[in-house]
Amino acid sequence: MRNLTRRQFIGTSAALIASIKMGHASSTASAKTLNLYNTHTGETLFEAFEENGEFLLNNLSQFDHLLRDHRQNEVLGIDPQLLCQLHELQTRLGVENTIEVISGYRSPKTNNMLRSRSASTGVAKKSFHMVGRAIDIRIRGVKTTQVRDTAMGMKLGGVGYYAGSDFVHLDTGPVRAW
């Protein structure tokens, strides 16, 4: 073994530590993906939205498009935290099943139309759907009561349960349930 000067030893040690950290980072690096199916348009998307703690901007636009107001064909940026909630929900449920999207973004025009059709469905006048912060879903193979209970336990936003229509509402607003 050769004798190293103090400077060489420090430099070699720093390089070794950096390579170990980089190797560790790359081995633990992960992408957060979602598999979505829009029940109204028939479109699907299986894509990563975050990788190594960074949102993937190009991919987020694909989520925005799938979650658009299909009635008006209007796209609005979806709150990435909503995608994080969906991913966390699947993680806690222990599934990677397809998420069926009933409603994502809703334009004010669509929201007003839905409110006028049936006030009993609970379409809020100032719905989080209108600002890209809400989604109505089912998860294939998982009872909606289980989805609801798991989402409520996360305490990451609003959770609504619509038994008659068999879907769960999630939003990034204050923690509450109905």
Spell out the domain ranges in the chain.
30-177
Mean pLDDT along residues 78-89: 98
Q: What is the mean pLDDT of the chain?
A: 86
Residue count (the chain): 178
Selection from 145, 166, 169 nearest residue 157 by Cα: 169
- Is CATH 3.60.15.10 the classification given to domain 30-177? no
pLDDT score at 52: 94
Mean pLDDT along residues 150-173: 97
pLDDT in tens, 32-78: 999 999 999 999 999 999 999 999 999 999 999 999 999 999 999 99
Structure tokens at 63: 């989520």
- Say whether pTM exceeds 0.75: yes
57-66 vs 80-93: helix crossing angle, rounded to 10: 80
Q: Contact at 8 Å (CB) between 76 and 134?
A: no
DSSP annotation of 71 reads T
Residue type, 173: G
What φ, ψ does residue 151 adopt, rounded to 5°?
Answer: -60, -40
Cα separation, 26 vs 114, whole angstroms: 47
The per-residue b/e assignment along 38-55, b for 16 or more CB within 10 angstroms, e otherwise, is: beeeebebebebbeeeee
Structure tokens at 52: 């190594």
pLDDT in tens, 95-127: 999 999 999 999 999 988 887 887 555 777 788
